[in-house]
Structure 1
Amino acid sequence: MSPAVRLPERLLRELGRTEGGDEALALLVRDQHTRRLVLLRALLDAAAAAPAAVCPPRLLDRLHRDWALLEAAERADRTAVRTVLLYPLAGPWAQRCLHGLTAGEPVPELRADLDHFSALAAAAAIRAGLPFTGRLTAHDGLLVLPALGALRTRPGPPVPVDAALAGGWLTLRQEYAEPVIVRTRDGGARSDDPRWLPVFTLPPLRPGAAPVPLDDLDPYRTAGSGLERHGLSAVTSLDDSERKAWARSWSGVEPLLRVGGPHRLAEAAALLHCVVPLSAPPGSPPTGEGAAHCSGTRREAFGAVLSSQPATAAFFASTLVHELQHTKLAALAALTPLHHEDAAARHFAPWRSDPRPFDGLFQGAYSHLALADYWQRFALGAQRLAHRDLAWAEHARCREQVGAVLPVLAGSGALTSEGRVVVNEMIAVYHRLGDSPPPAGQRARAAAYVRTARVIWRQRNGT
């Protein structure tokens, strides 16, 4: 990938404050998009270099046809095609393909992964409005066209599906079944046929932004993510009532992001391109309205947030604030290294029960600092006592957690000069938050929470 980039210090300082204006965000996005395109090209090169036992000539020929379709679609509508190629969930797929092609021996899932390249190219042509015909392959009873939708096929072995786009209509034919006709307009794909499952989208966060897919179809949305290892629940497929519940929560997110400052809405509009719904974590009541919640991001899926359904719009907004800091800091670290610490898991983090590596500590402190800022702004503007009390409690807990780990970050001798700027700005924000303290009782409870977490952590981890 590209070498480290020297960022202007003013942009580093913005990002260190967990903010970042249009210029800083555009820089991170542009770098991540460049990396994705390089990865896709590396995939094609790896296929050409792979032994015939890994990528037989017929598969390589098909990959070249798919690539040619992508190039033709890009000539027709570059923006539309980039929407598909840069879709967050195409990242895990591309990484998995590259691994399969360079493993040196056959990988069982590689065939299905390479079949998905045809679906990706078809989705790009559909977005670009480029007429085409081709044969696609459904796996596990589903043919997914990324960010558009999926065709339900018969279960069992892979099913060939002939696809043809003409005049804004997509025809999908499989043997022994009536064709499915899908209308493709304005970046969407709709059909009256129940075998077609469109990707549900949430409205844009602000005028001019794109709708945000709530993607419960893409087969790569959690592939290789190790959900359980990171305390996340499994992916889920949504029914109509569940989609409506997500939409209701989403409708209140925009004004609540604004509560955290204009930068919170700006970063969500710039960075969020997909939400992957997770099932409710253990401990959630059947109604799904309890406080139990889990969320996460994936570095290889830039722009995606994985989340169980938040209980309220306020928690939905805070989830985005939290997770998009991980997105932002990971993109910054890819652009320019922030430290040279090793990956040994040995540090206490009040938000986790297990030891964390330095990088995980850095990531957690950064995201919790943004949350402390968000909840403080929420508390200072809240009209209702219950809302104010909740916000102060969340703020106090997050700030106390950050305060417990900032000395470790600041004391590291392995920070780069860029990392030092970021940490110094984090420290400045931490102290600035102390200018408007929460009620004394909230502070005391937060301090007790962190002390107890440290005692339990030491007992559990033997240190």
Structure 2
Amino acid sequence: MPPSTLFRQFVLKVHGRCDLACDHCYVFEHADQGWRRRPAEMAVATMERVAERVADHARAHGLTRVSLVLHGGEPLLAGPRHLAALIAAMRGPLRGVCDVDLRVHSNGVLLDKRFCDLFREEGVKIGISLDGDRTANDRHRLYRDGRSSYDKVVRAIDLLRADYPDLYSGLLCTIDIANDPIAVYEALVAHEPPAIDFLWPHHTWDRPPPRTSPTAYADWLKAIADRWLDDGRPVPVRIFDSIISASQGGPSFTESLGLEGSDVLVVETDGGYEQADSLKTAFDGAPDTGMDVFRNSVDDVARNAGIEARQGGLAALCETCRECPVVATCGGGLFAHRYRGDGSGFTNPSVYCADLLPLIGHVHDRIARHPHVLPPAVVRAVATGHGDRASIARLGAAQAIGRRAVIAAVGAATGSSDGGGRGEDGPSQGWDAVKRIGAASPDAYDWALSHPYVRAWAVERLRALDRPGTPDEDGDDGLLATVACLAAARAVENVTLTVPVRDGAVYFPGVGRYPVPGRGETTVRVEAGSLTVDGAGPVEPVRHLTAGCFTVALDDLDPFRDCHDHPAAPRLDADRFARWQSFFQEAWTLLEKEYAEYAPAIAEALTTIVPLDPPASGASVSSAARDAYGSVGIALPESPAMLCLLILHEFQHVKLGAVLDFADLYDKSDDRLYHAPWRRDPRPLEGLLQGTYAHVAVADFWLRRTRSSDPAVAAEAARHFGDWYPKTVTAARTLQESGALTGLGEQFVATMRRTLESWDLPAAR
């Protein structure tokens, strides 16, 4: 069975009645009244059968951990003795099969030391429902005679905080826009909860929520989100943490957000399997599956039509949701909130759609102020196949932070002169200088790190240091020192460093190579912004290709550039460089004219081309190194047009690699191999994703060439397009059907596919 149909959370209705009469309760006050037909409490024999079914499911699918929630009604009405018997009946079948995360959700009014002692003995965490301060809580959480429950709930919370803090799991608060949001937030935080869960009141299109404005619920939550973020996120808040996580391709922590299939199954007091309780708000019988623990396995329930309807991810949503910019985070909202009784059922946006869009956008905007966070809008822009210049600039800013982090990791692994490093020489000397200059002149530091192969070197250096037997000090290649010298020169700061000589020269990233014959090391002095290398001959500069206002380095010197799939070419002679310049100028002119949507992103981020050795076969060869953002490797092809294609192709890999550094688009634990239509060998998921994204540009290149006024060019392009387009569409479909994409990944691939399907194909004209 696909991973999305596995159940990892089981809500067990140990008692089906309640001692409060909350008027917003989805169990007792909404359309489904199934509770009237069921026993008040779960029998011990029923619990034992539940546990056997859960154990069978965990064993069959290799689940190492399941979450069991004792629920109601009000579970504490079962009493400590019966709860103890139920827990004992549950423990037996699951012992040795998987770990159990056991929790209870309660209104708290009956919680006392008897229950707490039992829960401590059994390792049961306790979540308490509280809607804020006294005024907020007393709007809904009352006894049937109208008495307040507030004092008893607060007493229960105080008991947990004082005597049983290890059991206290958090507070659950149902939103009411009549309450002051900041007063509610402050009241909840004052109870020092380990977590806060704000719950949408359950409504459908047939019974919409009360409103004071079109975005009343968004405005209420936005006020709390701002305060929470300004406070430094003092406590986990599930709705906000889910928005932040899902926006980066991570999981949602609540069923009301995200595209992940639901992994929650409810078992009623009589052993009947039900879908999520929230469906009780739709219509009588909405949660029913017609199955129970005595006749049916958990896997049987997974094949229930209602369960399957909630597992479809992006494809299962209505068109409005599928095209929404925040769908990867929103996921269409809670399934129950989409219901409309006009025959459309659950194929609608959430009744809270008008709130979800501005709320998610607001939180996205707030977290986007942090440069290490990749805003979802950037990911969406890249997914189109092009990516605007501003989005690529944001990718570059995130990459700068990544470079700092990896250089810092190398420095920490290398050691420092005041912490046991090599003292006056070696890599620690360079690292000390890098730290000092980076702290004083961060812009100069970032500039010195910006050459693509600095990061490629650093990543490989870390891998080498992690390999057993690799010395920490003996492999100094001098890069930290040369980076420090460049940063010092940029910052106009004086520094003198000893630098190893590698293959008879010292190379400064992106600047050039200084030949230093007959030495193992040399001294580099930086004064007034200029470099002086002792004993060096004339510098061999890194040369640049220009086309109009666009300039890129053609780096045939960097000793760390040989990290592509094909060998790097040696230093080019003047004639070959001139040929590169001529081809590049024509290629860029073509790109700006015919592929203008791609040009701004490339101009923003492409800084370096590494010439590769052309293969003997004469085939086109190109590559993008995963850890060298801003660079591509290309063997000069047969024509400027092919150079244009290779730049487009490889820069797709550069963009997607940068996104994958900061956003999760797929499940990294998925180790399956997938058919890639352009290769004989099957590919891992990232390889298929990379190839598909790159071939969007390849297919686009040939499509536009089919419109050439030159019949020969158009005919050749039509042949290539007829080959690449169906392969790319097929690969996109394979990705969508893999079941291994995150919500953000689903949205990314769907956007790619919309791009492909939006084209005016030759056969259609």
TM bracket (short chain): 0.7 to 0.9
Counterpart selection for 1:266 from 600, 603, 608: 600
8 A Cα contact 1:403 1:430, kept in partner: yes
**Structure-2 separation of matches of 1:78 and 1:438:** 54
User: Is 2:526 aligned against 1:162?
Assistant: no
Once the 2 structures are TM-superposed, how far is the Cα of residue 238 of structure 1 from its aligned partner?
Answer: 1.2
Q: Which residue of 2 aligns with 1:34?
A: 401
Q: Which residue of 2 aligns with 1:278?
A: 612
TM value normalised by structure 1: 0.77
- CA displacement, residues 37-71 of structure 1 (integer Å, 9 cap, x when unaligned): 11111222222399x9xx97326865454245335
Partner SS, residue 89 of structure 1: helix
User: Is 2:717 aligned against 1:383?
Assistant: no
Q: Which residue of 1 aligns with 2:480?
A: 117
Q: Which residue of 1 aligns with 2:497?
A: 134
Q: Which residue of 1 aligns with 2:450?
A: 86
Once the 2 structures are TM-superposed, how far is the Cα of residue 3 of structure 1 from its aligned partner?
Answer: 7.7
Which 5+ residue runs of structure 2 have no aligned equivalent?
1-243, 249-373
User: Is 2:200 aligned against 1:200?
Assistant: no
Which 5+ residue runs of structure 1 have no aligned equivalent?
181-192, 285-291, 441-463
Once the 2 structures are TM-superposed, how far is the Cα of residue 294 of structure 1 from its aligned partner?
Answer: 0.8
Once the 2 structures are TM-superposed, how far is the Cα of residue 298 of structure 1 from its aligned partner?
Answer: 1.4
Once the 2 structures are TM-superposed, how far is the Cα of residue 268 of structure 1 from its aligned partner?
Answer: 0.8
Distance 1:13 1:77, change over 3 A: closer
Q: Which residue of 2 aligns with 1:323?
A: 650
8 A Cα contact 1:112 1:139, kept in partner: no
Matches within 5 A, 1:20-31: 20-31=387-398
Q: Which residue of 2 aligns with 1:409?
A: 735
Once the 2 structures are TM-superposed, how far is the Cα of residue 428 of structure 1 from its aligned partner?
Answer: 1.4
8 A Cα contact 1:345 1:355, kept in partner: no
Partner SS, residue 706 of structure 2: helix
Partner SS, residue 407 of structure 2: helix
Distance 1:425 1:438, change over 3 A: same
- CA displacement, residues 392-440 of structure 1 (integer Å, 9 cap, x when unaligned): 333222212213322211212111111111111122122223x322699
Counterpart selection for 1:214 from 545, 550, 554: 554
Once the 2 structures are TM-superposed, how far is the Cα of residue 218 of structure 1 from its aligned partner?
Answer: 0.9
Matches within 5 A, 1:426-445: 426-433=752-759, 435-437=760-762
Once the 2 structures are TM-superposed, how far is the Cα of residue 366 of structure 1 from its aligned partner?
Answer: 0.9
User: Is 2:579 aligned against 1:245?
Assistant: yes
Matches within 5 A, 1:42-61: 42-48=409-415, 57-58=421-422
Q: Which residue of 2 aligns with 1:455?
A: none
Partner SS, residue 111 of structure 1: coil
Which amino acid letter does the alignment assign opposite residue 674 of structure 2? H
- CA displacement, residues 281-306 of structure 1 (integer Å, 9 cap, x when unaligned): 1212xxxxxxx111111121111101
8 A Cα contact 1:233 1:294, kept in partner: no
Counterpart selection for 1:335 from 641, 662, 669: 662
Moved more, 305-314 or 133-142: 133-142
Q: Which residue of 2 aligns with 1:288?
A: none
Matches within 5 A, 1:281-300: 281-284=615-618, 292-300=619-627
Matches within 5 A, 1:302-317: 302-317=629-644
Once the 2 structures are TM-superposed, how far is the Cα of residue 374 of structure 1 from its aligned partner?
Answer: 2.5
**Structure-2 separation of matches of 1:345 and 1:245:** 44
Moved more, 232-241 or 267-276: 232-241
Partner SS, residue 678 of structure 2: coil
**Structure-2 separation of matches of 1:107 and 1:438:** 62
User: What number of residue pairs does the alignment pair up?
Assistant: 397
Distance 1:297 1:4, change over 3 A: farther
**Structure-1 separation of matches of 2:507 and 2:431:** 18
Partner SS, residue 94 of structure 1: helix
Which amino acid letter does the alignment assign opposite residue 652 of structure 2? Q
Once the 2 structures are TM-superposed, how far is the Cα of residue 217 of structure 1 from its aligned partner?
Answer: 1.0
8 A Cα contact 2:387 2:598, kept in partner: no
Q: More helix per residue: 1 or 2?
A: 1
**Structure-2 separation of matches of 1:206 and 1:266:** 14
Distance 1:42 1:10, change over 3 A: closer
TM value normalised by structure 2: 0.48
Once the 2 structures are TM-superposed, how far is the Cα of residue 260 of structure 1 from its aligned partner?
Answer: 4.2
8 A Cα contact 1:341 1:415, kept in partner: no
- CA displacement, residues 94-115 of structure 1 (integer Å, 9 cap, x when unaligned): 112223444453349x634452
Moved more, 27-36 or 384-393: 384-393
8 A Cα contact 1:293 1:310, kept in partner: yes
Q: Which residue of 1 aligns with 2:510?
A: 147
**Structure-2 separation of matches of 1:294 and 1:353:** 18
Distance 1:94 1:13, change over 3 A: closer
Q: Which residue of 2 aligns with 1:461?
A: none
8 A Cα contact 1:351 1:401, kept in partner: yes
**Structure-1 separation of matches of 2:672 and 2:501:** 41
**Structure-1 separation of matches of 2:402 and 2:750:** 29
Which amino acid letter does the alignment assign opposite residue 436 of structure 1? L
State the structure with bigger RCO (CA 8 A, min sep 6), 1 or 2: 1
**Structure-2 separation of matches of 1:349 and 1:250:** 31
Partner SS, residue 213 of structure 1: strand
Once the 2 structures are TM-superposed, how far is the Cα of residue 73 of structure 1 from its aligned partner?
Answer: 4.8
Partner SS, residue 35 of structure 1: helix
Distance 1:168 1:420, change over 3 A: closer
Once the 2 structures are TM-superposed, how far is the Cα of residue 279 of structure 1 from its aligned partner?
Answer: 0.4
Distance 1:371 1:259, change over 3 A: farther
**Structure-1 separation of matches of 2:460 and 2:668:** 27
Partner SS, residue 514 of structure 2: strand
8 A Cα contact 1:76 1:130, kept in partner: no
**Structure-1 separation of matches of 2:432 and 2:415:** 15
Which has the higher Rg, Structure 1 or Structure 2?
Answer: 2
Partner SS, residue 360 of structure 1: helix
Once the 2 structures are TM-superposed, how far is the Cα of residue 171 of structure 1 from its aligned partner?
Answer: 3.0
